[in-house]
């Protein structure tokens, strides 16, 4: 039973440092935040765009620890960029021949739509917009006509070829445009504070306002705005995390509901799950206000008993011991109290009872003995590859797929999900010898298979066009290897490559600008480690996602107050095209 209110921040996995950071920062910016929320509620957005137009879900895949995306999207074939890659990465360079390979055995095979196959595959890409992502600091054709993904990312390469996935080159946190290698060291140059710090960059990525104390995440601000416009008719928060507390989903009015990767919902003990032993219609939720008229999804715990053989016949409670006990508990919850403290205290279990009932009903639609979505994850995770077979990250996405499949029980037309895969802080032994389940290879393998399985699950229920998955991470890692042997890893850096996937995504393209891979020059912000100054700001990436999600052009500045620094003409379609960020078919 989740005991956290829908509109109260869930602290199920906090630590003291998180608590101090978030509460302290909030107090510093409370006045500006109140003004921002007032603007969010007053802006002239059409409710039809925020709450209508059918269901949509955003799924944030956060790669915790700083993903080495230099080895996710890679120049291949013959090009100046490939030459720079081979010369610059040292022991971290992936040979061009590795992009075409045959899985060593069935446990590492790939799902071909019918069975797990060990046929030869390729992670090479031929983008539809060849040349559009070439760095402006390099001559035309710098990247050539072909790129590749890490060999473990073959499932993502297949999605790219199918038009379901695209990349955004060299994205990162920025406070202002105009940061260069020449002015980077100057104190007068506005740049994100604590650039190479995990905690700071995670927060800045998820807030999109790096030059202000943290008060809310951009996902939380979207939830605040769209909920006020009617996009959330149910009792469940628009924001749902399957990976604990995060900054992205922190709002002012709306806070995330936190689940775990098992998808289990704990009801009150002794009443069946969900309350099948006690309630006549377990899909209904209690309304504690003793209303004169009930909504079709509610029942009244204060409904009186009647005479006869079944005194509870006029209520939703069964005439048995479980029904009488649950009725007594819920009538206690429905009582009013003279003390404001007592009323607030009892609001917690009341809200929890309604919320876990909603979640239980949503998940029940895909529960055993008919786990309609599990097969897609089993397809992409053959026996013998990972232990356990379905990894925790894949299980997180499986819970998201079940929540989307059971959306009719929730009443939301918009949902923002957060899942997370850790372990990307690869300072040492980044490339294990021919091991597909360890190091960077294992992380990429796990990530790619889980995303492909999620895509197949969404396609199977006809929801792929309604879902957009997007990646994010603390930062990229240094282009330089930090050692000259096979124990080498990479260190904290800045701009990197991200991907987004969904039926509405203009797939098969690379947006933004690929990094100029010139160390000790170009966009290497300092020294010769290869820390790329981003070409695309998080604000631009996130605002484009928000536009697809239903935030109107007029509301975008309230959610992303720094966006005008990077897109002075607003986030109109023409501006997106001119900035090479037309990632969706609007």
pLDDT tens-digit series, residues 126-138: 999 999 999 998 9
**Measured distance CA(199)–CA(201) in Å, rounded:** 6
Give the CA distances from residue 3 to residues 255, 259, 264, 326, in Å, rounded to whole numbers and listed in that order.
13, 12, 14, 17
What's the pLDDT at 234? Answer: 75
**Measured distance CA(539)–CA(561) in Å, rounded:** 9
Chain CA centroid to CA 79, Å = 34
Where is pLDDT greater, at 118 or 233?
Answer: 118
pTM: 0.86
Q: Are residues 479 and 493 in contact, defined by beta-carbon separation less than 8 angstroms?
A: yes
Q: What confidence category does residue 267 fall into, taking pLDDT thresholds of 50, 70 and 90?
A: low
Q: What confidence category does residue 586 fall into, taking pLDDT thresholds of 50, 70 and 90?
A: low
Where is pLDDT greater, at 21 or 120?
Answer: 120
Phi and psi at residue 557, to the nearest 5°: -60, -30
pLDDT over 80 at 27, yes or no:
no
Please write down the long-range contacts of 107-110, taking CB distance under 8 Å and 24 or more positions apart.
107/382, 107/383, 107/384, 107/385, 108/382, 108/385, 108/436, 109/382, 110/154, 110/155, 110/158, 110/380
Give the tens place of pLDDT for each residue, 371-427.
789 999 999 999 999 999 999 999 999 999 999 999 988 889 999 999 999 999 999
What's the pLDDT at 455? Answer: 98
What's the pLDDT at 134? Answer: 94
Q: Are residues 581 and 171 in contact, defined by beta-carbon separation less than 8 angstroms?
A: no
Tell me the CA end-to-end span of the chain in Å, nearest whole number. Answer: 40
pLDDT over 60 at 40, yes or no:
no
pLDDT (mean) for 276-303: 88
| Conformation bin of residue 9: beta by default, left when phi > 0, alpha when psi is -120 to 50 | beta
**Measured distance CA(513)–CA(583) in Å, rounded:** 13
Tell me which H or E stretch contains 287. Answer: none
Q: What confidence category does residue 305 fall into, taking pLDDT thresholds of 50, 70 and 90?
A: very high
**Measured distance CA(58)–CA(253) in Å, rounded:** 19
Q: What confidence category does residue 36 fall into, taking pLDDT thresholds of 50, 70 and 90?
A: very low
**Measured distance CA(223)–CA(240) in Å, rounded:** 11
Average confidence score pLDDT of the chain: 88
- Nearest 5°: the CA angle 240, 576, 232 is 25
**Measured distance CA(360)–CA(375) in Å, rounded:** 21
pLDDT (mean) for 521-541: 97
Tokens of 164: 């379901």
What's the pLDDT at 266? Answer: 64
Locus of tokens 């996935």 = 165
Ranges of beta strands (E only) in 49-206 are: 56-63, 73-75, 100-101, 110-111, 116-117, 121-122, 124-125, 147-149, 165-172
Locate the domains of the chain by residue range: 16-69+150-265+367-578
DSSP state of 236: S
CATH of domain 16-69+150-265+367-578: 3.40.720
Give the tens place of pLDDT for each residue, 202-221.
999 999 999 999 999 999 99
Q: Are residues 452 and 121 in contact, defined by beta-carbon separation less than 8 angstroms?
A: no
Locus of tokens 């199977």 = 460
Give the tens place of pLDDT for each residue, 125-180.
999 999 999 999 898 899 999 999 999 999 999 999 999 999 999 999 999 999 99
SS3 512: strand
pLDDT over 50 at 29, yes or no:
no
pLDDT over 80 at 100, yes or no:
yes
pLDDT over 50 at 37, yes or no:
no
Residue of 164, 165, 126 whose CA lies nearest to 147? 126
**Measured distance CA(102)–CA(120) in Å, rounded:** 4
Chain CA centroid to CA 51, Å = 20
Q: Are residues 202 and 474 in contact, defined by beta-carbon separation less than 8 angstroms?
A: yes
């Amino acid at each position: 039973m989740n005991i956290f209110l829908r509109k109260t921040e869930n602290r199920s996995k906090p630590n003291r440092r998180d608590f101090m950071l978030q509460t302290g920062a909030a107090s510093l910016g409370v006045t500006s935040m109140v003004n921002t929320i007032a603007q969010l509620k007053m802006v002239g957005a059409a409710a039809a765009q925020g709450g209508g137009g059918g269901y949509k879900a955003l799924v944030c895949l956060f790669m915790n620890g700083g993903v080495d995306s230099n080895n996710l999207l890679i120049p291949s074939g013959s090009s100046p960029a490939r030459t720079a890659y081979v010369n610059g990465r040292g022991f971290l360079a992936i040979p061009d021949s590795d992009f075409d390979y045959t899985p060593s055995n069935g446990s590492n095979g790939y799902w071909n739509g019918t069975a797990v196959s060990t046929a030869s595959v390729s992670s090479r890409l031929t983008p539809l917009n060849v040349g559009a992502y070439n760095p402006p600091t390099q001559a035309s054709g710098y990247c050539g006509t072909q790129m590749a993904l890490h060999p473990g990312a073959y499932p993502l390469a297949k999605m790219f070829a199918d038009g379901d996935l695209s990349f955004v080159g060299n994205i990162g946190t920025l406070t202002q445009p105009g940061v260069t290698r020449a002015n980077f060291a100057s104190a007068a140059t506005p740049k994100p504070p604590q650039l190479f710090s995990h905690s700071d960059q995670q927060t800045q990525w998820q807030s999109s306002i790096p030059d202000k104390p943290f008060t809310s995440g951009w996902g939380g601000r979207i939830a605040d705005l769209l909920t006020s416009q009617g996009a959330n008719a149910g009792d469940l928060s628009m924001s749902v995390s399957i990976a604990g507390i995060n900054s992205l989903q922190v709002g002012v009015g709306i806070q995330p509901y936190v689940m775990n990767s098992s998808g289990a919902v704990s009801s009150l003990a002794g009443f069946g799950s969900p309350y099948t032993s006690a309630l006549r219609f377990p899909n209904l939720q209690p309304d504690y206000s003793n209303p004169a008229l009930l909504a079709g999804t509610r029942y009244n715990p204060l409904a009186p008993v009647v005479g006869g053989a079944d005194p509870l016949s006029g209520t939703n409670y069964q005439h048995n011991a479980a029904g009488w006990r649950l009725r007594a508990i819920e009538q206690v919850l429905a009582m009013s109290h003279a003390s404001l403290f007592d009323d607030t205290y009892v609001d917690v279990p009341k809200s929890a009872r309604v919320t876990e009932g909603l979640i239980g009903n949503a998940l029940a639609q895909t529960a055993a003995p008919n786990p309609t979505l599990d097969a897609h994850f089993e397809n992409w995770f053959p026996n013998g590859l990972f232990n356990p077979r379905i990894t925790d990250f894949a299980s997180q996405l499986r819970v998201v797929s079940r929540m989307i499949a059971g959306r009719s029980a929730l009443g939301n037309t918009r949902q923002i999900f957060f899942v997370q895969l850790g372990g990307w802080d690869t300072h040492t032994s980044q490339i294990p010898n021919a091991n597909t389940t360890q190091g960077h290879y294992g992380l990429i393998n796990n990530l790619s298979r889980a995303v492909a399985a999620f895509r197949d699950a969404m396609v199977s229920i006809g929801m792929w066009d309604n879902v957009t998955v997007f990646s994010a991470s603390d930062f990229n890692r240094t282009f330089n290897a930090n050692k000259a042997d096979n124990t080498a890893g990479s260190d904290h850096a800045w701009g990197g490559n991200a991907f987004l996937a969904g039926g509405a995504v203009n797939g098969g393209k690379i947006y933004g600008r690929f990094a100029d891979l010139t160390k000790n020059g170009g966009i290497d912000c300092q020294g010769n480690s290869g820390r790329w100054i981003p070409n695309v700001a998080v604000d631009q990436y996130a605002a484009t996602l928000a536009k697809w999600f239903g935030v109107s052009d007029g509301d975008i500045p309230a959610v992303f107050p720094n966006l005008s620094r990077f897109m002075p003409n607003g986030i109109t379609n023409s501006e997106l095209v001119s900035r090479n960020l037309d990632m969706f078919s609007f």
